[in-house]
Protein backbone atom coordinates (compact mmCIF):
# COMPACT_ATOMS: atom_id res chain seq x y z
CA UNK A 1 0.00 0.00 0.00
CA UNK A 2 1.09 3.59 -0.61
CA UNK A 3 1.34 5.85 2.41
CA UNK A 4 -0.16 9.25 1.69
CA UNK A 5 0.70 11.10 4.88
CA UNK A 6 -2.89 12.36 5.11
CA UNK A 7 -6.04 11.73 7.11
CA UNK A 8 -8.72 9.43 5.78
CA UNK A 9 -12.12 11.05 6.26
CA UNK A 10 -15.19 9.07 5.22
CA UNK A 11 -13.26 7.18 2.57
CA UNK A 12 -11.47 10.23 1.17
CA UNK A 13 -7.81 11.19 1.58
CA UNK A 14 -7.66 14.66 3.10
CA UNK A 15 -4.48 16.71 3.43
CA UNK A 16 -4.32 18.53 6.73
CA UNK A 17 -4.10 22.29 6.65
CA UNK A 18 -2.20 22.49 9.92
CA UNK A 19 1.41 21.61 10.67
CA UNK A 20 3.20 18.42 9.63
CA UNK A 21 4.83 15.70 11.68
CA UNK A 22 7.06 12.70 11.09
CA UNK A 23 7.45 9.31 12.70
CA UNK A 24 10.90 8.47 14.07
CA UNK A 25 12.61 5.13 14.38
CA UNK A 26 13.42 4.94 18.12
CA UNK A 27 16.30 2.53 17.48
CA UNK A 28 18.14 5.09 15.35
CA UNK A 29 16.22 8.35 15.92
CA UNK A 30 15.94 8.42 12.13
CA UNK A 31 13.09 10.45 10.63
CA UNK A 32 10.67 8.31 8.59
CA UNK A 33 8.86 9.34 5.45
CA UNK A 34 6.30 10.50 4.55
CA UNK A 35 5.48 13.66 6.44
CA UNK A 36 2.00 13.54 7.97
CA UNK A 37 -0.21 16.56 7.60
CA UNK A 38 -2.27 17.52 10.63
CA UNK A 39 -5.91 18.54 10.47
CA UNK A 40 -7.30 21.81 11.69
CA UNK A 41 -10.28 21.83 14.02
CA UNK A 42 -12.44 23.02 11.13
CA UNK A 43 -11.38 20.05 8.99
CA UNK A 44 -12.12 17.68 11.87
CA UNK A 45 -15.80 18.55 11.65
CA UNK A 46 -16.08 16.74 8.32
CA UNK A 47 -15.15 13.45 10.03
CA UNK A 48 -17.56 13.84 12.93
CA UNK A 49 -20.38 15.01 10.64
CA UNK A 50 -19.87 11.98 8.39
CA UNK A 51 -19.91 9.67 11.40
CA UNK A 52 -23.18 11.21 12.54
CA UNK A 53 -24.70 10.70 9.08
CA UNK A 54 -23.54 7.09 9.00
CA UNK A 55 -24.99 6.16 12.37
CA UNK A 56 -28.62 5.58 11.37
CA UNK A 57 -27.81 2.97 8.73
CA UNK A 58 -24.81 1.38 10.40
CA UNK A 59 -26.51 1.04 13.78
CA UNK A 60 -29.33 -1.02 12.27
CA UNK A 61 -27.34 -3.46 10.10
CA UNK A 62 -28.60 -7.03 10.04
CA UNK A 63 -26.35 -9.36 12.05
CA UNK A 64 -24.83 -11.31 9.15
CA UNK A 65 -23.83 -8.23 7.13
CA UNK A 66 -22.51 -6.59 10.28
CA UNK A 67 -20.45 -9.64 11.27
CA UNK A 68 -19.13 -10.20 7.76
CA UNK A 69 -17.94 -6.58 7.72
CA UNK A 70 -15.85 -7.16 10.86
CA UNK A 71 -14.44 -10.36 9.38
CA UNK A 72 -13.52 -8.46 6.23
CA UNK A 73 -11.52 -5.91 8.21
CA UNK A 74 -9.52 -8.77 9.73
CA UNK A 75 -8.97 -10.30 6.28
CA UNK A 76 -7.82 -6.97 4.86
CA UNK A 77 -5.34 -6.40 7.68
CA UNK A 78 -3.80 -9.82 7.11
CA UNK A 79 -3.65 -9.14 3.38
CA UNK A 80 -1.28 -6.20 3.98
CA UNK A 81 1.36 -8.80 4.78
CA UNK A 82 4.91 -8.05 5.87
CA UNK A 83 4.64 -4.40 4.93
CA UNK A 84 2.60 -3.80 8.07
CA UNK A 85 5.10 -5.58 10.34
CA UNK A 86 8.07 -3.78 8.80
CA UNK A 87 6.51 -0.33 9.14
CA UNK A 88 5.31 -0.97 12.69
CA UNK A 89 8.80 -2.15 13.63
CA UNK A 90 10.39 0.96 12.16
CA UNK A 91 8.01 3.23 14.05
CA UNK A 92 8.12 1.48 17.45
CA UNK A 93 11.37 -0.48 17.72
CA UNK A 94 9.33 -3.57 18.62
CA UNK A 95 10.62 -6.89 17.24
CA UNK A 96 8.83 -8.61 14.37
CA UNK A 97 7.74 -11.60 16.47
CA UNK A 98 5.99 -9.33 18.98
CA UNK A 99 4.27 -7.42 16.18
CA UNK A 100 3.18 -10.58 14.40
CA UNK A 101 1.58 -11.76 17.62
CA UNK A 102 -0.08 -8.40 18.05
CA UNK A 103 -1.45 -8.52 14.51
CA UNK A 104 -2.92 -11.95 15.26
CA UNK A 105 -4.52 -10.56 18.40
CA UNK A 106 -5.95 -7.64 16.41
CA UNK A 107 -7.54 -9.81 13.76
CA UNK A 108 -8.61 -12.33 16.38
CA UNK A 109 -10.46 -9.60 18.31
CA UNK A 110 -12.31 -8.53 15.17
CA UNK A 111 -13.38 -12.10 14.40
CA UNK A 112 -14.39 -12.66 18.02
CA UNK A 113 -16.66 -9.62 17.87
CA UNK A 114 -18.04 -10.82 14.54
CA UNK A 115 -19.16 -13.96 16.37
CA UNK A 116 -20.64 -11.83 19.15
CA UNK A 117 -22.69 -9.96 16.55
CA UNK A 118 -23.91 -13.18 14.97
CA UNK A 119 -24.86 -14.70 18.31
CA UNK A 120 -26.63 -11.52 19.39
CA UNK A 121 -26.83 -11.74 23.20
CA UNK A 122 -25.27 -8.28 23.51
CA UNK A 123 -28.58 -6.87 22.28
CA UNK A 124 -30.00 -7.74 25.69
CA UNK A 125 -33.54 -8.48 24.54
CA UNK A 126 -36.08 -8.60 27.39
CA UNK A 127 -39.79 -9.01 26.88
CA UNK A 128 -42.44 -8.65 29.59
CA UNK A 129 -45.67 -9.66 27.78
CA UNK A 130 -48.87 -7.78 28.52
CA UNK A 131 -50.99 -9.07 31.40
CA UNK A 132 -54.38 -7.46 30.75
CA UNK A 133 -56.12 -9.56 33.41
CA UNK A 134 -53.67 -8.78 36.21
CA UNK A 135 -55.20 -7.17 39.29
CA UNK A 136 -55.35 -4.66 40.74
CA UNK A 137 -53.75 -3.16 37.62
CA UNK A 138 -53.02 -4.74 34.22
CA UNK A 139 -49.43 -4.83 32.91
CA UNK A 140 -48.52 -3.23 29.61
CA UNK A 141 -46.42 -5.04 26.99
CA UNK A 142 -42.86 -3.84 27.66
CA UNK A 143 -39.85 -4.81 25.57
CA UNK A 144 -36.23 -3.76 25.97
CA UNK A 145 -33.07 -3.94 23.89
CA UNK A 146 -29.60 -2.41 23.88
CA UNK A 147 -28.89 0.09 21.10
CA UNK A 148 -25.59 1.71 20.05
CA UNK A 149 -24.71 5.06 21.63
CA UNK A 150 -23.63 6.80 18.43
CA UNK A 151 -20.27 7.85 16.94
CA UNK A 152 -17.28 6.98 19.12
CA UNK A 153 -13.89 8.72 19.30
CA UNK A 154 -11.01 6.27 19.72
CA UNK A 155 -7.42 7.24 20.55
CA UNK A 156 -4.49 5.05 19.52
CA UNK A 157 -2.14 3.79 22.23
CA UNK A 158 1.62 4.28 22.06
CA UNK A 159 2.54 0.79 23.26
CA UNK A 160 0.27 -1.31 21.04
CA UNK A 161 0.46 -0.01 17.45
CA UNK A 162 -2.01 -2.69 16.33
CA UNK A 163 -4.04 -4.32 19.14
CA UNK A 164 -4.89 -1.02 20.90
CA UNK A 165 -4.72 1.16 17.83
CA UNK A 166 -6.58 1.75 14.56
CA UNK A 167 -8.47 -1.55 14.46
CA UNK A 168 -7.76 -2.50 18.06
CA UNK A 169 -10.09 -3.44 20.88
CA UNK A 170 -11.83 -0.07 21.27
CA UNK A 171 -12.48 0.25 17.55
CA UNK A 172 -13.56 -3.39 17.21
CA UNK A 173 -15.99 -3.25 20.11
CA UNK A 174 -17.44 0.11 19.03
CA UNK A 175 -17.97 -1.08 15.46
CA UNK A 176 -19.49 -4.32 16.78
CA UNK A 177 -21.94 -2.28 18.86
CA UNK A 178 -23.01 -0.42 15.72
CA UNK A 179 -21.13 2.81 16.42
CA UNK A 180 -19.19 4.64 13.69
CA UNK A 181 -15.60 5.40 14.76
CA UNK A 182 -13.48 8.50 14.35
CA UNK A 183 -9.98 7.29 15.14
CA UNK A 184 -7.27 9.69 16.35
CA UNK A 185 -3.93 8.17 15.32
CA UNK A 186 -1.00 8.19 17.71
CA UNK A 187 1.65 10.45 16.22
CA UNK A 188 4.42 7.98 17.10
CA UNK A 189 3.24 5.38 14.56
CA UNK A 190 1.25 7.23 11.87
CA UNK A 191 2.26 4.95 8.99
CA UNK A 192 1.10 1.83 10.79
CA UNK A 193 -2.18 3.56 11.54
CA UNK A 194 -2.66 4.56 7.93
CA UNK A 195 -2.06 1.05 6.60
CA UNK A 196 -4.69 -0.38 8.95
CA UNK A 197 -7.01 2.55 8.32
CA UNK A 198 -6.91 1.80 4.60
CA UNK A 199 -7.86 -1.81 5.37
CA UNK A 200 -10.90 -0.67 7.36
CA UNK A 201 -11.95 1.82 4.68
CA UNK A 202 -11.69 -0.93 2.06
CA UNK A 203 -14.09 -3.08 4.07
CA UNK A 204 -16.51 -0.17 4.49
CA UNK A 205 -16.55 0.40 0.72
CA UNK A 206 -16.71 -3.30 -0.06
CA UNK A 207 -19.96 -3.70 1.86
CA UNK A 208 -21.49 -0.51 0.49
CA UNK A 209 -21.71 1.05 3.94
CA UNK A 210 -21.91 4.76 4.52
CA UNK A 211 -18.27 5.97 4.30
CA UNK A 212 -18.65 7.86 7.57
CA UNK A 213 -18.57 4.54 9.43
CA UNK A 214 -14.81 5.07 9.82
CA UNK A 215 -12.42 8.00 9.67
CA UNK A 216 -8.72 8.21 10.53
CA UNK A 217 -7.43 11.59 11.62
CA UNK A 218 -4.02 13.08 12.45
CA UNK A 219 -3.50 16.03 14.72
CA UNK A 220 -2.11 17.21 18.08
CA UNK A 221 -3.82 15.63 21.07
CA UNK A 222 -3.91 18.96 22.88
CA UNK A 223 -6.05 20.54 20.17
CA UNK A 224 -7.52 18.02 17.72
CA UNK A 225 -7.93 15.36 20.40
CA UNK A 226 -9.73 17.77 22.69
CA UNK A 227 -11.86 19.13 19.84
CA UNK A 228 -12.83 15.58 18.88
CA UNK A 229 -14.08 14.80 22.39
CA UNK A 230 -15.89 18.13 22.58
CA UNK A 231 -17.68 17.64 19.25
CA UNK A 232 -21.44 17.15 19.83
CA UNK A 233 -21.58 14.34 17.26
CA UNK A 234 -19.34 12.14 19.44
CA UNK A 235 -21.20 10.09 22.07
CA UNK A 236 -18.39 8.15 23.79
CA UNK A 237 -14.59 7.94 23.95
CA UNK A 238 -12.13 5.05 24.09
CA UNK A 239 -8.60 5.95 25.25
CA UNK A 240 -5.42 4.16 26.32
CA UNK A 241 -2.53 6.31 27.48
CA UNK A 242 -1.15 8.46 30.24
CA UNK A 243 -3.11 9.48 33.30
CA UNK A 244 -2.65 13.20 32.57
CA UNK A 245 -3.98 12.88 29.02
CA UNK A 246 -6.85 10.65 30.09
CA UNK A 247 -7.95 13.04 32.83
CA UNK A 248 -7.78 15.97 30.38
CA UNK A 249 -10.16 14.13 28.04
CA UNK A 250 -12.46 13.22 30.94
CA UNK A 251 -12.69 16.87 31.94
CA UNK A 252 -13.52 17.94 28.40
CA UNK A 253 -16.21 15.25 28.10
CA UNK A 254 -17.73 16.18 31.46
CA UNK A 255 -17.80 19.90 30.63
CA UNK A 256 -19.83 19.45 27.43
CA UNK A 257 -23.47 20.62 27.36
CA UNK A 258 -24.17 16.90 26.88
CA UNK A 259 -21.55 15.04 28.96
CA UNK A 260 -20.39 11.72 27.50
CA UNK A 261 -18.58 8.69 28.93
CA UNK A 262 -14.81 8.38 28.56
CA UNK A 263 -13.47 4.85 28.87
CA UNK A 264 -9.84 5.58 29.61
CA UNK A 265 -7.17 3.06 30.54
CA UNK A 266 -4.38 4.98 32.22
CA UNK A 267 -1.91 3.75 34.84
CA UNK A 268 -1.33 0.58 36.85
CA UNK A 269 1.41 -0.94 39.02
CA UNK A 270 0.01 -4.51 38.96
CA UNK A 271 1.29 -5.69 42.34
CA UNK A 272 2.57 -9.24 42.80
CA UNK A 273 2.27 -10.85 46.24
CA UNK A 274 4.70 -13.67 47.00
CA UNK A 275 3.57 -15.78 49.97
CA UNK A 276 5.96 -17.82 52.14
CA UNK A 277 4.84 -21.16 50.74
CA UNK A 278 6.00 -20.14 47.27
CA UNK A 279 9.55 -19.87 48.60
CA UNK A 280 9.70 -23.23 50.40
CA UNK A 281 11.05 -25.04 47.35
CA UNK A 282 14.57 -25.57 46.12
CA UNK A 283 17.03 -22.91 45.08
CA UNK A 284 16.24 -23.77 41.48
CA UNK A 285 12.54 -23.10 42.08
CA UNK A 286 13.30 -19.74 43.66
CA UNK A 287 15.53 -18.88 40.71
CA UNK A 288 12.71 -19.84 38.34
CA UNK A 289 10.24 -17.60 40.19
CA UNK A 290 12.70 -14.71 40.04
CA UNK A 291 13.25 -15.26 36.33
CA UNK A 292 9.51 -15.30 35.66
CA UNK A 293 9.18 -12.00 37.49
CA UNK A 294 12.01 -10.38 35.55
CA UNK A 295 10.61 -11.68 32.27
CA UNK A 296 7.27 -10.04 33.11
CA UNK A 297 9.01 -6.78 34.09
CA UNK A 298 11.26 -6.55 31.02
CA UNK A 299 9.03 -7.96 28.27
CA UNK A 300 8.52 -5.35 25.52
CA UNK A 301 10.90 -3.17 27.54
CA UNK A 302 8.30 -3.07 30.31
CA UNK A 303 5.98 -1.00 28.13
CA UNK A 304 2.89 -3.05 28.90
CA UNK A 305 -0.07 -1.83 30.91
CA UNK A 306 0.12 -5.05 32.96
CA UNK A 307 3.86 -5.04 33.66
CA UNK A 308 4.39 -5.74 37.40
CA UNK A 309 5.75 -2.59 39.03
CA UNK A 310 5.54 -3.94 42.60
CA UNK A 311 6.51 -7.26 44.16
CA UNK A 312 5.77 -7.95 47.82
CA UNK A 313 8.17 -10.56 49.24
CA UNK A 314 8.44 -11.93 52.78
CA UNK A 315 11.06 -10.56 55.14
CA UNK A 316 13.61 -13.07 56.37
CA UNK A 317 15.89 -15.66 54.82
CA UNK A 318 13.51 -16.96 52.17
CA UNK A 319 12.77 -13.43 50.94
CA UNK A 320 16.50 -12.66 50.95
CA UNK A 321 17.07 -15.62 48.65
CA UNK A 322 14.35 -14.40 46.29
CA UNK A 323 15.79 -10.85 46.24
CA UNK A 324 19.24 -12.21 45.47
CA UNK A 325 17.80 -14.35 42.67
CA UNK A 326 15.98 -11.33 41.27
CA UNK A 327 19.22 -9.36 41.28
CA UNK A 328 21.01 -12.12 39.39
CA UNK A 329 18.18 -12.46 36.88
CA UNK A 330 17.98 -8.76 36.05
CA UNK A 331 21.76 -8.44 35.80
CA UNK A 332 21.64 -10.81 32.83
CA UNK A 333 19.16 -8.56 30.99
CA UNK A 334 19.99 -5.91 28.43
CA UNK A 335 17.80 -2.90 27.77
CA UNK A 336 15.41 -2.98 24.83
CA UNK A 337 14.60 -0.04 22.59
CA UNK A 338 11.68 1.90 23.99
CA UNK A 339 8.84 3.20 21.85
CA UNK A 340 9.97 6.81 21.64
CA UNK A 341 12.77 9.01 22.89
CA UNK A 342 10.21 10.81 25.05
CA UNK A 343 9.10 7.59 26.74
CA UNK A 344 12.72 6.63 27.39
CA UNK A 345 13.29 10.06 28.91
CA UNK A 346 10.27 9.65 31.19
CA UNK A 347 11.61 6.25 32.31
CA UNK A 348 14.93 7.85 33.21
CA UNK A 349 13.19 10.57 35.22
CA UNK A 350 10.98 8.04 37.01
CA UNK A 351 13.82 5.75 38.01
CA UNK A 352 15.92 8.68 39.18
CA UNK A 353 13.07 9.80 41.45
CA UNK A 354 12.56 6.27 42.77
CA UNK A 355 16.27 5.73 43.39
CA UNK A 356 16.53 9.05 45.21
CA UNK A 357 13.62 8.29 47.55
CA UNK A 358 14.50 7.57 51.15
CA UNK A 359 15.19 3.99 52.27
CA UNK A 360 15.23 2.65 48.70
CA UNK A 361 18.05 0.38 47.58
CA UNK A 362 19.12 -1.20 44.29
CA UNK A 363 18.27 -4.90 44.08
CA UNK A 364 19.89 -5.22 40.68
CA UNK A 365 20.32 -3.65 37.26
CA UNK A 366 20.87 -4.93 33.78
CA UNK A 367 22.98 -3.39 31.05
CA UNK A 368 21.96 -0.69 28.59
CA UNK A 369 20.82 -1.90 25.20
CA UNK A 370 22.50 -1.15 21.89
CA UNK A 371 20.50 1.99 21.13
CA UNK A 372 20.21 5.40 22.73
CA UNK A 373 16.63 4.71 23.84
CA UNK A 374 17.31 1.33 25.50
CA UNK A 375 18.03 1.98 29.19
CA UNK A 376 19.17 -0.81 31.51
CA UNK A 377 16.34 -2.58 33.41
CA UNK A 378 16.37 -1.81 37.13
CA UNK A 379 14.87 -3.40 40.24
CA UNK A 380 14.69 -1.44 43.49
CA UNK A 381 13.92 -2.51 47.06
CA UNK A 382 12.35 -1.13 50.23
CA UNK A 383 10.39 -2.23 53.30
CA UNK A 384 6.63 -2.17 53.56
CA UNK A 385 6.41 0.59 56.17
CA UNK A 386 8.34 2.91 53.86
CA UNK A 387 6.12 1.94 50.94
CA UNK A 388 2.95 2.64 52.91
CA UNK A 389 4.13 6.07 54.03
CA UNK A 390 5.93 7.33 50.91
CA UNK A 391 3.68 8.29 47.98
CA UNK A 392 6.71 8.61 45.67
CA UNK A 393 6.96 4.82 45.72
CA UNK A 394 3.40 4.53 44.36
CA UNK A 395 4.16 6.32 41.08
CA UNK A 396 4.02 4.27 37.88
CA UNK A 397 7.25 3.99 35.89
CA UNK A 398 6.35 3.03 32.33
CA UNK A 399 9.15 0.70 31.34
CA UNK A 400 11.44 -2.01 32.69
CA UNK A 401 11.61 -1.05 36.36
CA UNK A 402 9.99 -2.50 39.47
CA UNK A 403 10.08 -2.25 43.26
CA UNK A 404 10.50 -5.22 45.65
CA UNK A 405 8.79 -4.56 49.00
CA UNK A 406 9.56 -6.70 52.06
CA UNK A 407 6.69 -7.49 54.45
CA UNK A 408 6.23 -9.46 57.69
CA UNK A 409 2.49 -10.12 58.09
CA UNK A 410 -0.84 -10.45 56.33
CA UNK A 411 -1.99 -7.33 58.14
CA UNK A 412 0.79 -5.34 56.49
CA UNK A 413 -0.23 -6.63 53.07
CA UNK A 414 -3.84 -5.65 53.67
CA UNK A 415 -2.81 -2.17 54.84
CA UNK A 416 -0.58 -1.72 51.78
CA UNK A 417 -3.38 -2.89 49.49
CA UNK A 418 -5.76 -0.41 51.05
CA UNK A 419 -3.24 2.40 50.45
CA UNK A 420 -2.53 1.76 46.77
CA UNK A 421 -4.61 3.26 44.00
CA UNK A 422 -6.80 1.26 41.64
CA UNK A 423 -4.96 -1.32 39.52
CA UNK A 424 -5.63 -3.49 36.51
CA UNK A 425 -4.29 -6.68 38.15
CA UNK A 426 -2.93 -8.32 41.27
CA UNK A 427 -0.99 -11.60 41.18
CA UNK A 428 -0.56 -14.10 44.02
CA UNK A 429 2.31 -16.57 44.11
CA UNK A 430 1.37 -19.22 46.66
CA UNK A 431 0.91 -22.85 47.67
CA UNK A 432 -1.94 -24.53 49.52
CA UNK A 433 -0.43 -23.65 52.88
CA UNK A 434 -0.87 -19.95 51.99
CA UNK A 435 -4.61 -20.20 51.27
CA UNK A 436 -5.72 -18.92 54.73
CA UNK A 437 -3.54 -15.81 54.39
CA UNK A 438 -4.56 -15.23 50.78
CA UNK A 439 -8.21 -15.52 51.79
CA UNK A 440 -7.71 -12.53 54.09
CA UNK A 441 -6.14 -10.46 51.30
CA UNK A 442 -8.51 -11.21 48.43
CA UNK A 443 -11.46 -9.09 49.72
CA UNK A 444 -9.15 -6.07 49.88
CA UNK A 445 -7.83 -6.80 46.39
CA UNK A 446 -11.35 -7.03 44.98
CA UNK A 447 -11.81 -3.36 45.89
CA UNK A 448 -8.59 -2.36 44.14
CA UNK A 449 -8.17 -4.40 40.95
CA UNK A 450 -10.01 -5.76 37.93
CA UNK A 451 -8.26 -9.14 37.70
CA UNK A 452 -6.78 -11.40 40.40
CA UNK A 453 -4.25 -14.02 39.22
CA UNK A 454 -2.92 -17.04 41.13
CA UNK A 455 0.47 -18.56 40.26
CA UNK A 456 0.69 -16.63 37.04
CA UNK A 457 1.83 -13.24 35.81
CA UNK A 458 -0.28 -10.30 34.65
CA UNK A 459 1.31 -9.86 31.22
CA UNK A 460 -0.37 -11.67 28.35
CA UNK A 461 -4.04 -10.67 28.47
CA UNK A 462 -6.35 -13.35 27.08
CA UNK A 463 -9.02 -11.96 24.75
CA UNK A 464 -12.18 -13.87 25.58
CA UNK A 465 -15.60 -13.75 27.14
CA UNK A 466 -14.62 -13.72 30.84
CA UNK A 467 -11.64 -11.34 30.72
CA UNK A 468 -11.71 -8.08 32.67
CA UNK A 469 -9.08 -5.56 31.63
CA UNK A 470 -10.12 -2.68 33.80
CA UNK A 471 -10.05 -1.56 37.39
CA UNK A 472 -10.73 1.29 39.81
CA UNK A 473 -9.37 4.75 39.05
CA UNK A 474 -6.69 5.56 37.94
CA UNK A 475 -6.23 2.19 36.26
CA UNK A 476 -9.31 3.15 34.29
CA UNK A 477 -11.86 5.94 34.36
CA UNK A 478 -14.80 3.57 34.86
CA UNK A 479 -14.33 0.55 37.10
CA UNK A 480 -17.53 -1.07 35.79
CA UNK A 481 -16.11 -1.87 32.37
CA UNK A 482 -13.40 -3.75 30.50
CA UNK A 483 -11.46 -2.75 27.40
CA UNK A 484 -10.54 -6.34 26.48
CA UNK A 485 -12.91 -9.22 25.82
CA UNK A 486 -16.43 -9.41 24.54
CA UNK A 487 -17.90 -7.54 27.51
CA UNK A 488 -16.17 -4.43 26.11
CA UNK A 489 -19.08 -4.00 23.70
CA UNK A 490 -21.31 -2.93 26.61
CA UNK A 491 -19.43 0.36 26.89
CA UNK A 492 -21.01 1.58 23.67
CA UNK A 493 -24.61 0.49 24.23
CA UNK A 494 -27.61 1.81 26.15
CA UNK A 495 -31.03 0.30 26.95
CA UNK A 496 -34.29 1.44 25.39
CA UNK A 497 -37.73 0.16 26.42
CA UNK A 498 -40.73 -0.03 24.06
CA UNK A 499 -44.18 -0.05 25.67
CA UNK A 500 -47.30 -1.25 23.83
CA UNK A 501 -45.77 -0.83 20.38
CA UNK A 502 -47.58 -2.74 17.63
CA UNK A 503 -45.57 -5.46 15.90
CA UNK A 504 -45.27 -3.31 12.78
CA UNK A 505 -43.35 -0.63 14.70
CA UNK A 506 -41.08 -2.84 16.79
CA UNK A 507 -37.41 -3.21 15.84
CA UNK A 508 -36.47 -6.65 14.53
CA UNK A 509 -34.93 -8.00 17.77
CA UNK A 510 -38.20 -7.42 19.64
CA UNK A 511 -40.73 -8.78 17.14
CA UNK A 512 -42.65 -11.89 18.12
CA UNK A 513 -41.33 -13.64 15.02
CA UNK A 514 -37.73 -13.13 16.24
CA UNK A 515 -36.36 -12.71 12.68
CA UNK A 516 -32.74 -12.43 13.89
CA UNK A 517 -33.02 -15.68 15.88
CA UNK A 518 -31.86 -14.19 19.17
CA UNK A 519 -31.85 -15.66 22.64
CA UNK A 520 -34.30 -13.54 24.64
CA UNK A 521 -35.38 -13.12 28.27
CA UNK A 522 -39.16 -13.46 28.25
CA UNK A 523 -40.97 -12.69 31.49
CA UNK A 524 -37.68 -13.17 33.30
CA UNK A 525 -36.79 -16.53 31.77
CA UNK A 526 -34.05 -16.90 29.17
CA UNK A 527 -35.50 -18.57 26.10
CA UNK A 528 -33.07 -19.93 23.52
CA UNK A 529 -33.85 -18.93 19.96
CA UNK A 530 -34.15 -22.55 18.85
CA UNK A 531 -36.57 -23.42 21.66
CA UNK A 532 -38.68 -20.35 20.98
CA UNK A 533 -38.97 -21.30 17.31
CA UNK A 534 -40.02 -24.87 18.17
CA UNK A 535 -42.73 -23.62 20.50
CA UNK A 536 -43.93 -20.89 18.17
pLDDT in tens, 23-81: 999 999 999 999 999 999 999 999 999 999 999 999 999 999 999 999 999 999 999 99
Per residue, what are the HEC states of 38-70?
CCCHHHHHHHHHHHHHHHHHHCCCCHHHHHHHH
Asked if 260 and 234 count as a contact pair (C-beta separation under 8 A), the reply is yes
Give the C-alpha separation, 50 to 54, whole Å.
Answer: 6
Q: Is the pLDDT assigned to residue 534 strictly greater than 70?
A: no
Give the C-alpha separation, 423 to 312, whole Å.
Answer: 15
Together in a domain, 234 and 347: no
Marked catalytic residue, from 305, 396, 412, 421: 305
Average pLDDT over residues 509-524: 97
CATH code, domain with 223: 3.40.605.10
Using alpha carbons, select from 521, 55, 484, 489 the residue that is nearest to residue 240.
Answer: 484
Asked if 274 and 429 count as a contact pair (C-beta separation under 8 A), the reply is yes
H or E stretch covering 518:
none
CATH code, domain with 393: 3.40.309.10
Q: In 81-145, where does DSSP find H-type helix?
A: 82-92, 96-119
Together in a domain, 258 and 284: no
Together in a domain, 108 and 242: yes
Asked if 169 and 488 count as a contact pair (C-beta separation under 8 A), the reply is yes
pLDDT (0 to 100) of residue 221: 82
Using alpha carbons, select from 494, 518, 484 the residue that is nearest to residue 148.
Answer: 494
Together in a domain, 112 and 178: yes
Please provide the average confidence, as pLDDT, over all residues in the chain: 97
Per DSSP, 321 falls in state H
Q: Is the pLDDT assigned to residue 535 strictly greater than 60?
A: no
Together in a domain, 243 and 282: no
Together in a domain, 157 and 72: yes
Using alpha carbons, select from 406, 409, 346, 397 the residue that is nearest to residue 373.
Answer: 346
Together in a domain, 252 and 372: no
Structural domains of the chain, count = 2
Average pLDDT over residues 423-450: 98
- 447 — pLDDT class (breaks 50, 70, 90): very high
pLDDT (0 to 100) of residue 1: 79
Using alpha carbons, select from 369, 397, 368, 366 the residue that is nearest to residue 303.
Answer: 397
Asked if 483 and 240 count as a contact pair (C-beta separation under 8 A), the reply is yes
Q: Is residue 305 flagged as an active site residue?
A: yes
Together in a domain, 78 and 174: yes
H or E stretch covering 209:
none
Asked, for residue 508, whether it belongs to a domain, the answer is no
Together in a domain, 364 and 447: yes
pLDDT (0 to 100) of residue 536: 45
Together in a domain, 232 and 294: no
Together in a domain, 306 and 441: yes
Give the C-alpha separation, 35 to 509, whole Å.
Answer: 47
Using alpha carbons, select from 5, 483, 490 the residue that is nearest to residue 216.
Answer: 5
Q: Is the pLDDT assigned to residue 516 strictly greater than 50?
A: yes
pLDDT (0 to 100) of residue 531: 61
Asked, for residue 146, whether it belongs to a domain, the answer is yes
Give the C-alpha separation, 526 to 120, whole Å.
Answer: 13
Together in a domain, 196 and 308: no
> Which residues span the domain enclosing 354?
272-454
- 454 — pLDDT class (breaks 50, 70, 90): very high
First to last CA, the chain: 52
Asked, for residue 157, whether it belongs to a domain, the answer is yes
Marked catalytic residue, from 53, 102, 194, 265: 265
Q: Is the pLDDT assigned to residue 222 strictly greater than 90?
A: no
- 532 — pLDDT class (breaks 50, 70, 90): low
H or E stretch covering 236:
strand 236-240
Q: Is residue 372 flagged as an active site residue?
A: no
Asked if 476 and 125 count as a contact pair (C-beta separation under 8 A), the reply is no
Q: Is the pLDDT assigned to residue 342 strictly greater than 90?
A: yes
Give percent of the chain with pLDDT exceeding 70: 99
For the beta carbon of residue 319, count every other beta carbon within 10 angstroms: 19
pLDDT (0 to 100) of residue 150: 98
Asked, for residue 182, whether it belongs to a domain, the answer is yes
429-467 burial string, b = 16+ CB within 10 Å, else e?
bbeeebeebbeebeebbeebbbbbbeeebbbebebeeeb
pTM given for the model:
0.96
Amino acid sequence: MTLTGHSLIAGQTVAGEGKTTFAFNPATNEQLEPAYTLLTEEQLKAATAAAKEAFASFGTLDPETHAAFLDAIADNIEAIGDELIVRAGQETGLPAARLQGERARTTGQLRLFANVVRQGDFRGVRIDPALPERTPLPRADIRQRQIPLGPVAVFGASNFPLAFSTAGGDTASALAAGCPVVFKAHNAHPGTSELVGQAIAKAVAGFGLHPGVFSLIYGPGSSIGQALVADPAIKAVGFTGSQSAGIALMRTAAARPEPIPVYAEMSSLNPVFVFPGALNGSAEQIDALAQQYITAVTGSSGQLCTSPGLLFAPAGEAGDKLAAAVGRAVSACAGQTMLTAGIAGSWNSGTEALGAAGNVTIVGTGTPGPTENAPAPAIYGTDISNFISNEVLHAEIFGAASLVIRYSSAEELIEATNRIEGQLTASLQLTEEDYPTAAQLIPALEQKVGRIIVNGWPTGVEVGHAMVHGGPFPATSDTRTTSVGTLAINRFLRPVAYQNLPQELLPAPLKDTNPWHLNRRIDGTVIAAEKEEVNA
